């Protein structure tokens, strides 16, 4: 096996174009190394991104936050600057695995792996995250909701590379929360996780409601019709019960060692209700492990 260490994004793209299907990108390696150890993939060439310092940058702009693909989850978790702008994201990232994994894992690798039982994608979905993808002679921004296609499948085309993610800065009046329910004491992966975003106008009525469910389906699960119906409504138990019921009735969850499909349907409804209640009545944004 060859390990190639390009010095720039342009060099990386050339190596990907020349290498074909037997070439894999490695950043933190927290997912790829496990796959290789279990014989799921055995690439002939690894393209390491460890020398691409331009992808390890955090930029806080007036309207958005941009995270380079190589920014580690630990850096996001510990950033006071990011905590002031995206507190729920920094808190949710802190619930991923353990500090050793978070020191190695990168935000670009997190979205590119498309792991259904990962916490950050649900939070990023409710925040309106976009993914920047480049290829030789091309570049595009893809909403995360369209970038994640299926279990471990993304919209990346052969020869393309994720270079950064962009997150719009939430409204000053918006409140977000992430609830992570773990059904097995020996695991850190969620049975179900729910990210909720609620924004209210000056009269206390909903102007924007978003909910994404992690750990139960191939990609973060949303029911746009249910959340859009809340616009103009009071953020009370009646409204949240209706959204929770819609999510519980609509979701078709996976069944695995962390919970059966029927169990996940029940938990989804309960967590959606709790997350919306927490987001709409809480004075602080955050993430909580249940």
pLDDT given at position 39: 92
pLDDT given at position 60: 97
Mean pLDDT (the chain) is: 96
What pLDDT, in 10s, does the model give residues 245-269? 999 999 999 999 999 999 999 999 9
pLDDT given at position 19: 87
pTM for the predicted model, two decimal places:
0.96
Q: For residue 138, is pLDDT > 80?
A: yes
What pLDDT, in 10s, does the model give residues 18-34? 988 899 999 999 999 99
Q: For residue 143, is pLDDT > 90?
A: yes
Q: What is the Cα–Cα distance from 287 to 212, expressed in whole angstroms?
A: 14
What pLDDT, in 10s, does the model give residues 200-217? 999 999 999 999 999 999
For residues 85 and 68, the answer to whether their CB atoms sit within 8 Å is: no
Q: For residue 107, is pLDDT > 90?
A: yes
Q: Which residues of 243-262 are buried (b: 16+ CB within 10 A; e: fewer)?
A: bbebbbeebebbeeebbeee
Q: For residue 284, is pLDDT > 90?
A: no
What pLDDT, in 10s, does the model give residues 185-201? 878 899 999 999 999 99
pLDDT given at position 283: 73
Q: What is the Cα–Cα distance from 157 to 98, expressed in whole angstroms?
A: 31
Q: What is the Cα–Cα distance from 92 to 73, expressed in whole angstroms?
A: 10
Kindly write down the DSSP assignment for every residue of 199-230, as one continuous string: EE-TTS-EEEEEEEEESSSSS-B--HHHHHTT
Q: If pLDDT is split at 50, 70 and 90, which confidence band does 137 have? A: very high
For residues 63 and 20, the answer to whether their CB atoms sit within 8 Å is: no
pLDDT given at position 258: 95
């Amino acid at each position: 096996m060859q390990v190639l260490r390009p010095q720039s994004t342009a060099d990386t793209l050339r190596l990907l174009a020349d290498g074909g299907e037997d070439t894999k990108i490695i950043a933190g390696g927290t997912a790829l190394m496990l796959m290789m150890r279990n014989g799921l993939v055995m690439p002939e060439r690894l393209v390491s991104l460890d020398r691409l310092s331009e992808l390890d940058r955090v930029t806080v702009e007036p309207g958005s936050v941009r995270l380079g693909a190589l920014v580690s989850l630990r850096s996001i978790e510990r950033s006071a600057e990011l905590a002031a702008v995206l507190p729920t994201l920094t808190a949710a990232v802190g619930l991923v695995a353990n500090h050793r994994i978070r020191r190695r894992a990168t935000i670009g690798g997190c979205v590119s792996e498309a792991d259904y039982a990962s916490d950050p994608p649900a939070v990023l979905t409710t925040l309106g995250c976009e993914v920047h993808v480049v290829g030789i002679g091309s570049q595009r921004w893809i909403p995360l909701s369209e970038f994640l296609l299926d279990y471990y499948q993304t919209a990346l085309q052969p020869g393309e590379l994720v270079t950064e993610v962009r997150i719009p800065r939430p409204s000053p009046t918006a409140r977000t929360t992430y609830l992570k329910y773990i059904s097995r004491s020996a695991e850190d992966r969620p049975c179900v996780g729910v990210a909720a975003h609620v924004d209210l106008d000056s009269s206390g009525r909903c102007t924007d409601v978003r909910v994404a469910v992690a750990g139960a389906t191939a990609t973060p699960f949303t029911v746009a019709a249910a959340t859009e119906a809340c616009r103009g409504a009071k953020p009370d138990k009646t409204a949240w019960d209706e959204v929770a019921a819609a999510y519980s009735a609509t979701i078709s969850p996976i069944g695995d060692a962390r919970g059966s499909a029927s169990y996940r349907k029940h938990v989804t409804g309960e967590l959606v209700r709790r997350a919306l209640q927490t987001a709409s009545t809480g004075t602080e944004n955050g993430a909580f492990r249940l």
